[in-house]
A and B are shown apart, each in its own frame.
Chain A
Amino acid sequence: MSSTVAVRCATASPEETQALAATIASHLTPGDLVLLSGDLGAGKTTFVQAVAAALGVNEPVTSPTFALAHHYLGKYELRHIDLYRLADPCEMLDYILEELESAIVLVEWGELLAAEFPEARLDVKLSFAENGPSSDANYRSIELVGTGSRWKSVLVAVETQK
């Protein structure tokens, strides 16, 4: 069983969420798998937009819900995938595993395939903060769960930078 490290963060605005995403992006390399989970509107696409920008992607990063997968090239190859529309997300599994050989892969609604994916990955769980000021809809609680030694060191670095 690989070791798992969890870091909890809270952000007060989309900009703060994007700053956190950029910090994580600075550690990403091809072969890294990042699963994003959270309700509609929690900020999954916002998070990926910041990762892409931090990696030097300068075209617009839009929601892949309809197209299922968007390809970008920045400092590295980047794949932005969304399982939201799929009744059987397993259909995307082979494609994702193949892309992981040469790209950084970020998967929205990735928890739908959690059991099928390699354990060595980063799970980003975004939620509307329950204990933030209830009057402010911009608060998010973000849990980062890394499994495997590589993610352990990344999360330690993220924690010191946050």
Chain B
Amino acid sequence: MSHPSLVLGIETSCDETAASVVRDGTEILASVVSSQTHSQHGGVVPEVASRAHLEQLLPVIDETLREAKCRPQNLDAIAATTGPGLVGALLVGASAGKALSLAWDLPFVAVNHLHGHIYAAFLEEPDVAMPLVALLVSGGHTMLVEMRDHGDYKLLGQTRDDAAGEAFDKVARLLGLGYPGGPEIDRLATEGNPEAVRFPRPMLADGYDFSFSGLKTAVANHLKKHPNTSTQDVAASFQAAAVDVLVTKAVRAAQNTSTGSLVLAGGVAANSELRRRFAEAADDIGIAHFLPSRSMCTDNAAMIAAAGWQQLRIQGASPLNTAVDPSWGFAA
């Protein structure tokens, strides 16, 4: 079987336009991420997002190839995110990936964005032991996944209402902080008392599913009743509750499966308290853990190239008529 080494990754599932060239699924030659500014749009807007992706994608790919000192004829494959995400945004990256693979006569690989987040771990630490349990936490997703081998995933649990990152953003809004709220809460929490308010730990004793809507409502109720509680204390107490639930369930999943390692992934993996508690809990139960560097937590195309490289080896190329799937789950 051929062993392609240089993969161009393309990621446009949400509000980042990104491209990357990765060698052998582990060595990043270039990774360019162009973000649509949140302050301008307050979030992703379907029409605006697609238009901006369309304008930025080719320049981003050019810059990536230049930085990687790589010509199209040096590439071995093109991997693009085809779901889940916003349909208009996905179409831009997926169509560009297919067109370039046709023009340059390269295999095309349709990559699941969620798989990509887990491959951020393999990019930085190729020897992560499998089976592994990944806690994937971001603005749109909160999942516990068992990965038994490359291409072999089992969804253990997910949120039933709000995603963890969304809860951070909304609590930040309740506290009058800016957007995105995660980093603000992280920062303020270091100055507050995490035991000042005992917020609920929703579904703590209950399997692998999550629920963050009630925690958000509890913060709203607390602020109505006690408007003078320090912002720092509320931030720290909310963060403690959210992290408690996330870490407890990740540990439970690790203990109930034959896990070789615990992997943290997604945008919320940049949260300092979650990183600290996740590492501490893994050490306590004697399981290896992996924390992605902060630039690998948020959306990027290097993780898509890494996932695509592995997928190509195992499953081969994807047909050029592969459709984008805005609600693509974890199953292959």
Q: Which residues of A contact B46 (CB under 8 A)?
A: 68, 91-92, 95
Q: Which residues of A contact B327 (CB under 8 A)?
A: 70-71
B216 at the interface (CB under 8 A from A): yes
Q: Which residues of B contact A68 (CB under 8 A)?
A: 44, 46, 86
Q: CB distance A87 to B43 under 8 Å?
A: yes
Q: Which residue of A lies closest to B162 (CB)?
A: A63
A72 to B158, CA, bound (A): 17
Q: Mark B161-179, 1 if CB is under 8 A from A, else 0.
A: 1110110001001100000
Given contacts A62-B163, A91-B48, contact A40 B41 (CB under 8 A): no
A87 to B173, CA, bound (A): 14
A40 to chain B, nearest CB (A): 5
Q: Which residues of A contact B41 (CB under 8 A)?
A: 86-88
Q: CB distance A41 to B158 under 8 Å?
A: no
A29 at the interface (CB under 8 A from B): no
Contact of B44 among A62, A71, A85 (CB under 8 A): A85
Q: CB distance B166 to A65 under 8 Å?
A: yes
Q: Which residues of B contact A62 (CB under 8 A)?
A: 159-163
Contact of B213 among A46, A87, A95 (CB under 8 A): A46
B317 at the interface (CB under 8 A from A): no
A46 to B160, CA, bound (A): 10
B8 to chain A, nearest CB (A): 27
B183 at the interface (CB under 8 A from A): no
Contact of B221 among A65, A85, A137 (CB under 8 A): A137
B256 at the interface (CB under 8 A from A): no
B217 to chain A, nearest CB (A): 3
Q: Which residues of A contact B213 (CB under 8 A)?
A: 41, 45-46, 63
Within 8 A of B (CB), among A49-67: 49, 60, 62-63, 65-67
Within 8 A of A (CB), among B45-83: 45-48
A40 to B224, CA, bound (A): 12
A76 at the interface (CB under 8 A from B): no
A23 to chain B, nearest CB (A): 22
B140 at the interface (CB under 8 A from A): yes
Within 8 A of B (CB), among A33-52: 39-41, 45-46, 49
A62 to B220, CA, bound (A): 19
A117 at the interface (CB under 8 A from B): no
B260 at the interface (CB under 8 A from A): no
A97 to B303, CA, bound (A): 37
Q: Which residues of B contact A49 (CB under 8 A)?
A: 161
Given contacts A41-B220, A45-B213, contact A87 B42 (CB under 8 A): yes
Q: CB distance A60 to B160 under 8 Å?
A: yes
A88 to B47, CA, bound (A): 11
A62 to B211, CA, bound (A): 10
Q: Which residues of A contact B219 (CB under 8 A)?
A: 41
Q: Which residues of A contact B170 (CB under 8 A)?
A: 40, 65
A39 to B170, CA, bound (A): 11
Q: Which residues of A contact B158 (CB under 8 A)?
A: 60
Q: Which residue of B lies closest to A49 (CB)?
A: B161
Q: CB distance A45 to B163 under 8 Å?
A: no
A42 to chain B, nearest CB (A): 8
Extra inter-chain contacts (5) besides given A40-B173, A66-B163, A87-B43, CB under 8 Å: A45-B161, A49-B161, A65-B170, A87-B42, A137-B221
List 24 interface pairs A-B (beta carbons < 8 Å), by A numbering. A40-B217, A40-B220, A41-B216, A41-B217, A41-B219, A45-B161, A46-B161, A62-B163, A63-B161, A63-B162, A63-B163, A66-B138, A66-B139, A66-B165, A67-B84, A67-B86, A87-B43, A91-B46, A92-B46, A95-B46, A128-B220, A128-B221, A128-B224, A137-B221
Q: Chain B interface (Cβ within 8 Å of chain A)?
A: 40-48, 84-86, 138-140, 158-163, 165-166, 170, 173-174, 213, 216-221, 224, 326-327
Q: Chain A interface (Cβ within 8 Å of chain B)?
A: 39-41, 45-46, 49, 60, 62-63, 65-68, 70-71, 84-88, 91-92, 95, 128, 137
Q: Which 3 A-B pairs have the closest CB atoms?
A: A85-B43, A41-B217, A66-B140
